[in-house]
Chain A
Amino acid sequence: DTEVTQTPKHLVMGMTNKKSLKCEQHMGHRAMYWYKQKAKKPPELMFVYSYEKLSINESVPSRFSPECPNSSLLNLHLHALQPEDSALYLCASSQGQDGAFFGQGTRLTVV
């Protein structure tokens, strides 16, 4: 099983809403990632969790709050987002520092 599962696939939220993106992997990978991808651009790293601890935060605004409840799950809590935060949010996992496997992403639209 080389699958990373993300839910929901699509999300529309208002600027005052609170929502969460979810990610799950059952490959036993010890690192999990959140990336943000704007249209026609490469993915940009947001957060990295290693052994369930936050190891990298790429100066992401506090309106994005990651959480790693256990080694298989990764959440991204969203609050008070701006329209410019609309993007494809990708979760990935990896065994160590090798190439990451990505989920299909959540297409987020902030209205």
Chain B
Amino acid sequence: GENVGLHLPTLSVQEGDNSIINCAYSNSASDYFIWYKQESGKGPQFIIDIRSNMDKRQGQRVTVLLNKTVKHLSLQIAATQPGDSAVYFCAENSNDYKLSFGAGTTVTVRA
């Protein structure tokens, strides 16, 4: 079936650099997207969301970009810090309560 997926399972980034985490989706009916951060032993933490009528949304140190033409979603983290080390999931919702998660990217920040 159609689902949301991530391009890379792991990402290693130097502290202070910017991180870019990518996600591809195939369901053209998806109209709402969310990025979650999950640290070891914890539940997923809501980071930022974006609706399909937007192509960019900014939060504190994070930016989400949506390209509906190629069905691509990305999360940019500015000035990556050790506390940003976690698994990042993109998730999509196509107008029902079924929030579908991608496979996840494990981000490791090098000191």
Q: Which of A11-19, A40-48, A59-67, A79-87 contacts B (4 or more CB under 8 A)?
A: A40-48
**B12 to A: closest C-beta gap in Å:** 17
Beta-carbon contact of A105 and B43 below 8 Å: yes
Beta-carbon contact of B97 and A50 below 8 Å: yes
With A42-B102, A42-B104, A45-B99 as contacts: A99 and B42 at CB distance below 8 Å = no
Q: Give bound CA distance, A42 to B105, whole Å.
A: 10
**Cβ-neighbour of B99 out of A41, A55, A99, A105 (below 8 A):** A99
Give B87's nearest chain A residue, CB to CB.
Answer: A40
Beta-carbon contact of A56 and B98 below 8 Å: yes
With A99-B34, A99-B49, A99-B91 as contacts: A43 and B97 at CB distance below 8 Å = no
Residues of B within 8 A of A6 (CB): 43
Number of interface residues of B (CB under 8 A): 23
Is B96 engaged at the interface, CB distance under 8 Å to the other chain? Answer: yes
Main DSSP-derived SS at the A contact region? strand
**B73 to A: closest C-beta gap in Å:** 13
Is B19 engaged at the interface, CB distance under 8 Å to the other chain? Answer: no
Q: Give bound CA distance, A41 to B44, whole Å.
A: 12
Given contacts A33-B99, A97-B95, A102-B46, 18 further A-B contacts (CB under 8 A): A4-B43, A42-B101, A42-B102, A43-B44, A43-B89, A43-B101, A44-B101, A56-B98, A92-B43, A97-B96, A97-B97, A98-B32, A98-B49, A99-B46, A99-B93, A102-B44, A102-B45, A103-B43
What are 27 of the A-B contact pairs (CB < 8 Å)?
A: A33-B97, A33-B99, A41-B104, A42-B102, A42-B103, A43-B89, A43-B101, A45-B98, A45-B99, A48-B97, A56-B97, A90-B44, A97-B32, A98-B93, A99-B46, A99-B49, A99-B91, A99-B93, A102-B36, A102-B43, A102-B44, A102-B45, A102-B46, A103-B43, A104-B43, A105-B43, A107-B41
